[in-house]
Chains A and B, each alone.
Chain A
Amino acid sequence: MTADRNTAGAAPPRTLFAKVWDAHVVAQEAGAPALLYIDLHLVHEVTSPQAFAGLRARGMSVRRPERTVATVDHSIPTVPDGAAAADAMAAAQIARMEENAQREGIRLYGTQSPGRGIVHVIGPELGLTQPGMTVVCGDSHTSTHGAFGALAFGIGTSEVEHVLATQCLLQRRPGVFEVRLTGRRPAGVTAKDIVLALLARIGVGGGTSHVFEYAGEGVRSLGMEERMTICNMSIEGGARAGMMAPDDTTFEYIAGREFAPKGKAWENALGRWRTLPGDEGAKFDRSLTIDLGELTPMITFGTNPGMGLPIGDPVPSPDDLPDATQASALRKALAYMALEPGRPLLGRPVDVVFIGSCTNGRISDLRQAASVLRGRTVAPSVRVLVVPGSLAVRRQAEAEGLDRVFLAAGAEWRNAGCSMCIAMNGDQLSPGQYAVSTSNRNFEGRQGKGGRTFLASPLTAAASAVTGRITDARRLDAEGVRS
């Protein structure tokens, strides 16, 4: 867009992040944040009503309604017969989203739409999410869309209003944190295990004020849905966004989807997208390498996603931590979880298994869970919810007969939504219950007041559903539970 962009010989090598950022800076005044153009604005019912109200109070309307896409996912119930919202407030919030979208001329995947689903599942599925874009949503898991080489991050409601009004946002340029994935992962190690291993290494504040740029042959070997799982939980490391350079895997995923470019426009887009990967020699502010060959299935034991460990390891002891603050945080977490240090989680009884969410609610996740549950039954003591991330995922799963696998095993086959990941829609844990959950947050009360969450992969979740205890899916046959 600017002349100096063409003097390639003099330009220093740039990261993927820098290329996308630079291409979207509308203005940059000295001492002020950059004014960044937003290509795609995703909106849901929980974080938008105050933004639309603010816009109206100023007598403004949405600047680019065609760049805004809305759905209802957080407070919508997932009961299979499509019953009404959990309560009057949730119903009012859903109705407000639908009114706001209609008034502003925004495309809405509402309660009755077959395209409805979790905002971070439907964006990619509809082909709305594309490489090189800036994507925002009033939702921290917007980082998911970075799997396509987009710069995608969560924003607050004031910022939702800014984007509705101007299609722009004021942003301070973050640092770039390279996460290099090398080696080949052993069988039974999923994308969820990779990201939980990263979080266990850096902690929940390790990526603050940075964007993760995942690189290395370990990324190339991942499918798009696996990439989304990893980028999704970048925010759990404190990074606003996680990005992966687009490649043929990316292009194959996008091709032919509803909002993907078609014909000549597709060829042009491919040409642009192929220039996005970071240049050789581009500098990162921080770097870290993870050898996938050393990983095993991971599970969390504490009350933040950084408190994770290899599934066979014992729960750490506060007495082994030299830092008093860390020791006290661990003590607090173990008290909430009612866990004893020094003992492994394996074999520990659980009450609920939740398979779903924007982290692990896509078709490949459901296929993994079904591969474990096929021909098996869930333990009678466990409630198992399988919640597709979107109605399209639900239809695809049914076309493949996965719903029958889940139902035959004794699991609940639910409607699409955020469900028990956010616990504001009727799906929630009771106080004191333990859950193995494929979602992204194990904060105190996240899945219901007093509920206790172990985050893990769909394989681990499904294996634990079968035994009723925390189970390593690789050892399920050894436990002799196939019926």
Chain B
Amino acid sequence: MKEFTRCSSRMVPLLVDNVDTDQIIPARFLKVTDKLGLGEHLFADWRYGADGRPKADFILNDARAQGAEILLAGDNFGCGSSREHAPWALAGFGFRAVISTSFADIFANNALKNGLLPLRLGGEDYRRVVALAAADPAARVTIDVSSQTLELPGGVRCAFPLDAFAKTCLLEGVDELGYILRFRDRIEAFEQAAGRS
């Protein structure tokens, strides 16, 4: 996994609560056997019309979304299915972080394993960031994983929670499987003790 220390970008606001993974990547795109190319199907049913053309009024088709790395989302983002295709599609589009007030558990787990940061803000900070994105679409914010802060123009800093393990994994690009494999002996001992060998 690629290291994630800092990210400075415009924000792409998609302020809808309970966005489910069927919206992020509809099931008909799950027939792939690799992880590539899903970015073009990200939010396919909201993004493209029946004729397959981009819908002008959908934010991902707006100029401000091009090259942006931060999605500003609504509450309970990523609910529904366990498909890791959702973070693959978000990362495939170019996003490195999603800001919200909460995330569905499986989505957040999947995102972190792909270097996509689910950045959770408290209500007040979240409202401030939403207001900023509305007032100045070009405003750049900076995520600093090490200090667990989101810096807004003018120097205001919003703290966000991140558990120590997830933080280390992001900062050092740690591969979780590599970490688990260090416990090989413990796993074997557990299997023997529990009669599972």
Most B CB atoms within 10 A — which of A49, A166, A204, A443?
Answer: A443
Contacting chain A: which of B109-117, B133-141, B144-152?
B109-117
Q: Tell whether A161 pairs with B79 under 8 Å between CB atoms, given A93-B31, A444-B23.
A: no
Tell me the bound Cα distance from A209 to B106 in angstroms.
Answer: 9
A72 CB to closest chain B CB (Å) equals 12
Chain B neighbourhood of A1, CB < 8 A: 190, 193-194
Most B CB atoms within 10 A — which of A158, A159, A209, A424?
Answer: A158
B30 CB to closest chain A CB (Å) equals 5
B156: interface (CB < 8 Å): no
Check B76–A238 contact: CB distance below 8 A: yes
Chain A neighbourhood of B34, CB < 8 A: 49-50, 53
Q: Give residues 74-104 of B contacting A (CB, 8 Å).
A: 74-76, 79-84, 87, 102-104
Contacting chain B: which of A25-33, A213-221, A403-411?
A25-33
Check A208–B102 contact: CB distance below 8 A: yes
Q: Tell whether A204 pairs with B79 under 8 Å between CB atoms, given A89-B32, A156-B113.
A: yes
Check B183–A27 contact: CB distance below 8 A: yes
B24 CB to closest chain A CB (Å) equals 10
A126: interface (CB < 8 Å): no
Check B164–A238 contact: CB distance below 8 A: no
Main secondary structure of the interface of A (DSSP, over half): loop
Check B33–A92 contact: CB distance below 8 A: yes
Contacting chain B: which of A14-22, A167-175, A314-322?
A167-175
Check B186–A162 contact: CB distance below 8 A: no
Check A205–B22 contact: CB distance below 8 A: no
A474: interface (CB < 8 Å): no
Check A162–B23 contact: CB distance below 8 A: no
Chain B neighbourhood of A326, CB < 8 A: 17
With an 8 Å Cβ cutoff, the count of chain A residues facing the other chain is 67
Chain B neighbourhood of A464, CB < 8 A: none
Tell me the bound Cα distance from A350 to B180 in angstroms.
Answer: 51
Q: Give residues 152-197 of B contacting A (CB, 8 Å).
A: 163-165, 176-177, 179-181, 183-184, 186-187, 190-191, 193-194, 196
Q: Tell whether A424 pairs with B177 under 8 Å between CB atoms, given A1-B194, A156-B106.
A: no
Residue-wise interface mask of A (49-79) relative to B, using a CB-CB cutoff of 8 A (1 in contact, 0 not): 1100100001000000000000000110000
Question: Who on chain A is nearest to B184 by CB?
Answer: A166
Interface residue ranges, A against B (CB under 8 Å): 1, 23, 26-27, 31-33, 35, 37, 39, 46-47, 49-50, 53, 58, 74-75, 87, 89-90, 92-93, 96, 138-140, 142, 154-159, 161-162, 165-168, 170, 172, 174, 204-205, 208-209, 235, 238, 240, 304, 306, 325-326, 329, 332, 422-424, 431, 441, 443-446, 449-450
> What are 8 contact pairs spanning A and B, CB under 8 A?
A49-B34, A50-B84, A154-B82, A156-B83, A204-B79, A205-B76, A208-B103, A329-B18
